[in-house]
Amino acid sequence: MINQELINPKSIVVVGGSNKTSKPGGNCIRNILNGGYKGNIYVVNPKESEVQGLKSYNDIKDIPQTDLAIISIPAKTCLETITILAQEKGVKAFIMYTAGFGEETNEGGEMEKKIVEVINNAGASLIGPNCIGILNRYHHSLFTLPIPEMDPMGVDMVSSSGGTALFIMESSIRMGLRFNSVWSIGNAAQISVEDVLEYMDDNFNPETDSKIKLLYIESIKDPDKLLEHTSSLIHKGCRIAAIKSGTSESGSRAASSHTGAMANPDLAVEALFRKAGVVRCFSREELATVGAVFTLKELKGKNIAIVTHAGGPAVILTDALAKGGMEIPQLSGTSIADKLKKQLLPGSSVSNPIDIIGTGGPEHLAIAIDYCESKFTNIDGIAVIFGSPGLTRVYEAYEVLDQKMKSCSKPIFPVLPSVSTAWDETDFFVKKGHVNFSDEVGLADALIKVLKTPPPLPNNLELKRVSVPMIRRIIDNIPQSGYIAPQQVQELFKAAGIPIVEDLVSDNWEEICAFAEKAHYPIVAKVVGPVHKSDVGGVVVNIRSKEHLDFEFGRLMEIPGAEAVMIQPMLKGVELFAGAKYEEKFGHIVLCGLGGIFVEIFKDVASGLAPLATEEALSMIRSLKGYNVFKGARGQKGIDENQFAKIIVQLSALLRFATEIKELDINPLLATEQGIIAVDARVRIEK
């Protein structure tokens, strides 16, 4: 529960406040004082009467009524102190730096619980324990350095880890990011990352609030809540990037389906972030770089002009942008380009990159940027690479860049690589309120990431096309947990509008034979019983005659576990994969990819969180490494991505009404000339 006493307290008491700034209780007082806090500050320290110029009380019982208490005393003494503060001193907000609670021992965990109970009973808020505190426009209650430059339109950062928050700030400050708030939530005994986002969302004021949020999350306690508030904030105009750490743990846990083996926590996070519209990052530098991109004007398309005075980095940037699907359109060969060339130094190039060469000065930089802004109409954004060879100072060039960034309508991305030779100039540029990308590839990767993250969709679900009564009847009629029979899979898919190949399941030779005649050879025969049929030699494709079928029928029926044989017409097409898995707390994660028996080896799958809209399914398909297969390659016809997307949407709708489904694999779906159709599916339910 976040309250005003935490955000903007009228008074703060630092319990364990110290003269020594080498101690958390000392450094936080210095930070609060330096931060220009306007309210009253009290200190409790049994050994001092004055701390950093402030009155120090020897006994907690003597302090006046106070809004916010910062707790920086040994863990064992916290409960008693907090009880007094909450019950007698009217304290309505606590920030606990103290560690040694649930993160360390079971006893610590018990103590933490008791503290939370006392605080909850008093209707107070709690940040921590085991955190570095919070920093906002009203008070700098962090015990660490650096304190970034504050700006109401700067970044809001929420971090599970105090140390990581610091290091993200280090990277960010170097890039020129300013901050509006920093929340280190520590053990999140009461307030979690989700709670902070909820608060920001519920109290969002588009006029006064910062719109950039950077998150470092160690555990997602409530995925639904995270999804709700991140997507809502993004709908309100915010831009959010996040690192979720600890997703590499193996997901296979004796999974019996392909989906089960592949749907690890990492894909669940990917699915959640995709749905929310959160840009997913993996490193601190990357998070800071994406944050820096967020501060600039929005890039509305993928056409970039590069203005440079050095060839190499411009080519590196071109490669990195092109690899991510962005365009660096050719600009030369037009009369406009010729005019530009005449105004630059001899030897300059006006293709793209526009190279004003090493001796090109501020005036050339200005002209090149002006052309990209208003004459080259096919350009959406401008990257400017400008360093210093150390011969002259580059203040003037950076002055030009500063002005152009303010006056141009297109976003300009400054790459100022001479962070040591031109440190003074770079610092001068950043102090004017700009960010700087010292590495062009870091910039390219961040731009691509931002551009490729789809915005969250409005909540209009596409659930109309499944037959809910039919789905329920089928599921309710299944007596027990486990893999459901092929016949039920057929019915379920029909009810959900997922095309599935016609088949016959039987242990009777006459029936099998008659179906094969009707379906026309060649046909496919499969053993029914074992879960992974190919692994036991239980799939025979391309059966062209009754004699061959007769032989295989006999053989398949003798495979251990065989109950019957399934016959299907033989189809031809590219193999696709779709699946779903129920993840605790997240709900159903839906996977799609290129299919076949190697799906688990290539692991080229994308994930989404059910229920999915068509747009989301399409964005999943387009994020596949093998996506080019859909466009047609090597003489093969393309695949109708819309139809595949529809199947994924239908599948996600099915899951919504059949929550008993815990694992589901459709592998493969064959993309035939007649359309995409499932030829193998398994569904495991838990009742």
Per CB under 5 A, residues contacting Mg ion are 667, 680
- Kindly state whether residue 322 participates in binding ligand ADP, applying the rule CB under 6 A: no
- Kindly state whether residue 568 participates in binding ligand ADP, applying the rule CB under 6 A: yes
- Kindly state whether residue 539 participates in binding ligand ADP, applying the rule CB under 6 A: yes
Calculate the CA dihedral of residues 403, 409, 415, 421 and round it to 10 degrees.
0
Q: How far is the CB of 603 from ligand ADP (least distance, A)?
A: 16
Q: In this structure, what token pair is assigned to residue 650? A: 């239908």
Q: How far is the CB of 561 from ligand ADP (least distance, A)?
A: 12
Choosing from 449, 526, 581, 662, the residue that interacts with ligand ADP (CB under 6 A) is 526
- Kindly state whether residue 133 participates in binding ligand ADP, applying the rule CB under 6 A: no
**Burial profile 379-404: b = 16 or more Cβ within 10 angstroms, e = fewer:** bbbbbbbbbbeeeeebeebbbbbbeb
- Contact, 108 vs 118, CB < 8 A? no
Q: Which does 5 bind (CB under 5 to 8 A by kind): Mg ion, ligand ADP, none?
A: none
Choosing from 90, 362, 596, 675, the residue that interacts with ligand ADP (CB under 6 A) is 596
**Binding residues for ligand ADP, total number by CB under 6 A:** 18
Residues paired with 41 in a beta bridge: 12
For Mg ion, which is the closer residue by CB, 539 or 589?
539
Choosing from 92, 317, 668, 683, the residue that interacts with ligand ADP (CB under 6 A) is 668
- Kindly state whether residue 680 participates in binding ligand ADP, applying the rule CB under 6 A: yes
- Kindly state whether residue 532 participates in binding ligand ADP, applying the rule CB under 6 A: yes
What string marks each residue from 622 to 661 as x (binds ligand ADP by CB under 6 A) or -?
----------------------------------------
Choosing from 524, 591, 610, 639, the residue that interacts with ligand ADP (CB under 6 A) is 524
- Contact, 619 vs 610, CB < 8 A? no
Q: Show the CA angle centred on residue 244, arms to residues 243 and 250, nearest 5°.
A: 135
For ligand ADP, which is the closer residue by CB, 26 or 579?
579
Distance, CA of 592 to CA of 648 (rounded, Å): 8
* Segment contacting ligand ADP by CB under 6 A, of 281-289, 356-364, 487-495, 527-535: 527-535
Choosing from 534, 628, 642, 659, the residue that interacts with ligand ADP (CB under 6 A) is 534
493 closest CA partner among 677, 261, 262: 677
- Kindly state whether residue 490 participates in binding ligand ADP, applying the rule CB under 6 A: no
For ligand ADP, which is the closer residue by CB, 45 or 667?
667
Q: SS3 for 506?
A: strand
Number of neighbouring beta carbons within 10 Å of residue 39 = 15
Residues paired with 685 in a beta bridge: 482, 661
Q: In this structure, what token pair is assigned to residue 284? A: 């601190």
Phi, psi of 140 (to 5 degrees): -105, 70
Distance, CA of 677 to CA of 672 (rounded, Å): 7
Q: Show the CA angle centred on residue 389, arms to residues 447 and 330, nearest 5°.
A: 45
Q: How far is the CB of 664 from Mg ion (least distance, A)?
A: 12
- Contact, 66 vs 42, CB < 8 A? yes
- Contact, 120 vs 151, CB < 8 A? no
Number of neighbouring beta carbons within 10 Å of residue 517 = 12
Q: How far is the CB of 507 from ligand ADP (least distance, A)?
A: 18
Choosing from 145, 153, 322, 541, the residue that interacts with ligand ADP (CB under 6 A) is 541
For ligand ADP, which is the closer residue by CB, 523 or 612?
523
For ligand ADP, which is the closer residue by CB, 197 or 594?
594
* Segment contacting ligand ADP by CB under 6 A, of 5-13, 153-161, 234-242, 534-542: 534-542
- Contact, 476 vs 484, CB < 8 A? no
Q: Which does 596 bind (CB under 5 to 8 A by kind): ligand ADP, Mg ion, none?
A: ligand ADP
Q: How far apart are the first and last CA of the chain?
A: 37
For ligand ADP, which is the closer residue by CB, 100 or 596?
596
What residue number has its CB nearest to Mg ion?
680
Number of neighbouring beta carbons within 10 Å of residue 418 = 16
Q: How far is the CB of 534 from ligand ADP (least distance, A)?
A: 3
For ligand ADP, which is the closer residue by CB, 449 or 581?
581
Q: Where are the alpha helices (DSSP H) in 265-384?
A: 265-276, 284-295, 311-323, 335-343, 362-370
By CB under 6 A, name the binding residues for ligand ADP.
501, 524, 526, 532-534, 539, 541, 568, 570-571, 575, 596-597, 667-668, 679-680
